[in-house]
C-alpha cells in the first residue's frame, strides 16, 4: 500500500495556481484510501515529480522510453524526470530528434531498493515496503555525464504525496 496521501484538494489547488497541473486532469485520493485505485484513464503520480519537471501530456519519446524499459510512472523516482528532461533538452537544443535508442545508449535503469515512509490512518507514520518497485535512470559508466548539480536526494516522505492524473489512452490499444 502507498499509505494515506498528504495530497488534498488544497494541495492540488496550489499546484494548479503554479501551473504544474491542470484542474480538469487531477484528483486527490479519498482521505480514507491507503492503496491506489486509479480509474482506467488515470495514473498515480507524486507531487515531487512535478518539482523535478514532469509535465503532461508526455512527449511521445518519454512514453516510448518507459515502454522500452518496461516501467511505469509510479515506479520512478523524482530524479528520473530530471534526467529525462536533461536528455530531451540537450537533444532538442542540438536540433537532434530525441530517440529511445539514444536514451538507452546514455542511460540504464537502476533498481532502488527502498523502504518508504507510510502515513497511517491515525496520522502516525512508519516504514513500509512499497507496493511497486522503485527505479531511476542512471548514467551508463561508458557515457560522459555532466557534473551532478541537481537535487539527487529527495525527502524520504516524497512517496506520501501521491494523487491521480488523467492520461490520454491510445484508442487502438486502450493503453
Q: Is the pTM of this model over 0.95?
A: no
What are the tens digits of pLDDT across the range 131-170? 556 888 988 877 666 655 555 566 667 888 999 999 986 6
What are the tens digits of pLDDT across the range 8-28? 999 999 999 999 999 999 999
- List of E strands, 12-143: 26-27, 42-46, 107-111, 116-119, 125-128, 135-139
From the list 126, 64, 128, 129, the residue with the least C-alpha distance to 98 is 64
Assigned C-alpha cell, 104: 538507452
Residues 6 or more apart whose Cβ sits within 8 Å of residue 89: none
**Long-range CB pairs of 14-20, under 8 A, 24+ apart, other chains included:** 15/47, 15/50, 20/50, 20/55
Amino acid at each position: 500500500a502507498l499509505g494515506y496521501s498528504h495530497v488534498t484538494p488544497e494541495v492540488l489547488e496550489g499546484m494548479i495556481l503554479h501551473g504544474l497541473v491542470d484542474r480538469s486532469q487531477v484528483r486527490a485520493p479519498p482521505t480514507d484510501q491507503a492503496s491506489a485505485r486509479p480509474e482506467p484513464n488515470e495514473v498515480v503520480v507524486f507531487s515531487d515529480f512535478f518539482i523535478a519537471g514532469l509535465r503532461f501530456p508526455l512527449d511521445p519519446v518519454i512514453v516510448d522510453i518507459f515502454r522500452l524499459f518496461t516501467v511505469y510512472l509510479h515506479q520512478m523516482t523524482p530524479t528520473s524526470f530530471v534526467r529525462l528532461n536533461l536528455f530531451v533538452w540537450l537533444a532538442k537544443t542540438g536540433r537532434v530528434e530525441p530517440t529511445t535508442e539514444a536514451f538507452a545508449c546514455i542511460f540504464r535503469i537502476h533498481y532502488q531498493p527502498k523502504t518508504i515512509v507510510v502515513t497511517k490512518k491515525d496520522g502516525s507514520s512508519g516504514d513500509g515496503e512499497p507496493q511497486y518497485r522503485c527505479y531511476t535512470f542512471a548514467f551508463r559508466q561508458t557515457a560522459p555525464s555532466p557534473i551532478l548539480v541537481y537535487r539527487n536526494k529527495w525527502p524520504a516522505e516524497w512517496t506520501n504525496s501521491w494523487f491521480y492524473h488523467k492520461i490520454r489512452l491510445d484508442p487502438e490499444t486502450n493503453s
